[in-house]
A and B are shown apart, each in its own frame.
Chain A
């Protein structure tokens, strides 16, 4: 396994790094997060113009032809800037489900809108009773003439408020927790029977509770094969884990570096507090957690690019376990070493910590993935 990068990968990394450093201030981010939309439409257009929204899609589908490594490099930089735009929900999750499960015709129809930035999308997979089990689906899809009728309830749909298109998991056969019998559907959020309750999340993103009551969709809305949607869903979620994990790596780097800088400046008892050995060791431990997470990020991304299977899934779960543990440690210590300031809204430290806390929960927390790792 080789952790070196191609010239294209380095160029992609540098362009996003430059954008985050020069055009994405924390103050602007906060202002955009508090706006009606919840993010900046201008930034989204910039992402599209620079080709970033097409990074994980094949050139045949109009994308950049990148893989897990490219997505990971992008998301790490997004983590540095605490980027609020819904890249994860639209491109990685909804786009990923279509990419892995959809027919060529569906990809040709649906992906261009995601790549050019005109379509906002969301993956509606979670349900209140399911916790982190992707196969625990009670939303039903009943055959009705040439199409289907969807009934059910989807919880915490990321980017639900802005989405024009949902990719919904629904049960067409089998028992509540069977992996077989789950079908993915593309649903227009304006279709009759779709209702939402929107809200902000702790980390300043937006989500919705989505109710589906007698929502009629045609047969073309089925993503891939009827009853075989679980595989595409699981792969899209694993790519989502790599994405948020990489974002967490970026968040942790920002946190430990800002903490080191703060401790070099802040004086107490007549000297910089960064001179005290106990604090130095704590900062080294933060640095170690970051380096550890970053290394597992590379390993997980490369395993995914080698081919999606058990080894890739194990690497993804190992990465998620590490992220959960490290994110908590780095976030808590960053807040603590900043003292009271670490708790304030105007300082970015607490916001990074909130994002890290949410990332641990997204797609299964550390305990869940430790069990998955052991079972694979």
Chain B
């Protein structure tokens, strides 16, 4: 199959399985459409195309993955890289037992479970102590509290508890020897309670563990500092993370923003257009980085560009665009996109359509970023692995 034929096939797939998001009136419709999209991906075997064949992937080359991401971004599909794929799966591939790999990887590839990462302790924990994996009555039990992060578009807190909530958690705890340990739990485990924590996108949950039983088979073999290092960089040395191709989605945002700024010129238009040019320059930079990440090795490019570079650049650009969007919307930055679509038909901004659309897009773009950034700064990874500066010194260690 030629590259063009493959692209046509991919476009046809997207057209068949993903509606225009602007046509979806309610947030719930978006989430349900997302679930149908993920199911379609799993059914045709495209859910984890970057994984090895032996683990249910397609082992697509980077260029093909990049093109696939580009097409999906143009169609504004839900993120292809979920937390389960970018964190849990690489961890399992490197450090999981054969049994864990066989069960959980297949589950992740099928989108059969929605994972949340229960790694962080809440600031206001009742116990003010780390979550513990301790010996109970003839079994190991988990005790404590966590703030769990779930995939933004898979887990909805805007709806009543149903299939859209996380169904499985990866939990970090200290065992009886004060060694860090990770285990997987079903969200419906007895003694486990979960409640959404309000934030911009509704992806966080407060989790309480009241002597939740944990089977030995559900504990990762890797423990201690090795576990923390693997969690900080789950895909180190692996090819199991999709190469980032954020530029196409961002280009769409900038195009809409330029249209919006030109609809009704005002006294700040010239300044905003100048800032927009700066963002467009930064976009060219991101595109150039993405092309470099795909390039074969040479004397000039002896090393593959780390994906963290693309992630950092995309984050910086999203921040730049977010600031510019807020500035350009003026007072129309205030309405909440979800609330608008829930109570009104069509745009409320009399200047035209773009403002509401770009607000929604910004929100989605941030969700995608949050799904890939789960608490560690990519700069830590670059400092350690790329610049060879070693692990950082934390304040409490000094």
Residue of A nearest to B298 (CB): A5
Cβ contacts under 8 Å, B288 to chain A: 292, 295-296, 298-299
Q: Does A10 contact B (CB under 8 A)?
A: yes
Cβ contacts under 8 Å, A314 to chain B: 284
Is A277 a contact partner of B280 (Cβ separation < 8 A)?
no
- B254-305 contacts to A (CB < 8 Å): 273-274, 276-278, 280-281, 284-285, 287-289, 291-292, 295-296, 298-301, 305
Contact with B along A250-292 (1 / 0, CB 8 A): 0000000000100110000101001111001101110110011
Cβ contacts under 8 Å, B312 to chain A: 284, 288
**Whole-angstrom CA separation of A283 from B380 in the bound complex:** 11
Given A3-B295, A281-B379, A299-B288: A292 in contact with B390 (beta carbons within 8 A): no
**Whole-angstrom CA separation of A219 from B262 in the bound complex:** 50
Cβ contacts under 8 Å, B274 to chain A: 370-371, 374
Is A370 a contact partner of B285 (Cβ separation < 8 A)?
no
Q: Which of A50-58, A166-174, A200-208, A315-323 contacts B (4 or more CB under 8 A)?
A: A315-323
Cβ contacts under 8 Å, A269 to chain B: 398
Question: Which residue of A1, A3, A281 is within 8 Å of B301 (Cβ)?
Answer: A3
Nearest-neighbour CB distance to chain A for B185, whole angstroms, equals: 32
Cβ contacts under 8 Å, A264 to chain B: 388-389
Cβ contacts under 8 Å, B281 to chain A: 317-318, 321-322, 370, 373
Nearest-neighbour CB distance to chain B for A326, whole angstroms, equals: 10
Q: Does A175 contact B (CB under 8 A)?
A: no
Residue of A nearest to B394 (CB): A277
Residues of B within 8 Å of A, CB-based: how many?
39
Contact with B along A28-44 (1 / 0, CB 8 A): 00000000000000000
Cβ contacts under 8 Å, A277 to chain B: 380, 383, 392-394
Tell which of A1, A281, A318, A373 has the most Cβ of chain B within 10 Å: A318
Question: Which residue of B299, B382, B387 is within 8 Å of A10 (Cβ)?
Answer: B299
**Whole-angstrom CA separation of A260 from B382 in the bound complex:** 12
Cβ contacts under 8 Å, B287 to chain A: 299
**Whole-angstrom CA separation of A166 from B160 in the bound complex:** 78
Assign chain A's interface to a size class: 35 or more
Q: Does B201 contact A (CB under 8 A)?
A: no
Q: Does B377 contact A (CB under 8 A)?
A: yes
Given A295-B289, A295-B292, A299-B284: A288 in contact with B394 (beta carbons within 8 A): no
Q: Does A13 contact B (CB under 8 A)?
A: yes
Nearest-neighbour CB distance to chain A for B393, whole angstroms, equals: 4
Residue of B nearest to A4 (CB): B296
Question: Which residue of A13, A276, A315, A374 is within 8 Å of B277 (Cβ)?
Answer: A374
Given A3-B291, A4-B296, A299-B288: A275 in contact with B313 (beta carbons within 8 A): no
Cβ contacts under 8 Å, A317 to chain B: 281
| A–B Cβ pairs within 8 angstroms, 14 of them | A4-B295, A10-B298, A73-B300, A260-B388, A264-B388, A277-B392, A277-B393, A280-B387, A284-B386, A294-B292, A295-B288, A296-B288, A322-B285, A373-B280
Give me the interface of A with B, judged by CB distance under 8 Å.
1-5, 9-10, 13-14, 73, 260, 263-264, 269, 271, 274-277, 280-281, 283-285, 287-288, 291-292, 294-296, 298-299, 314-315, 317-318, 321-322, 370-371, 373-374
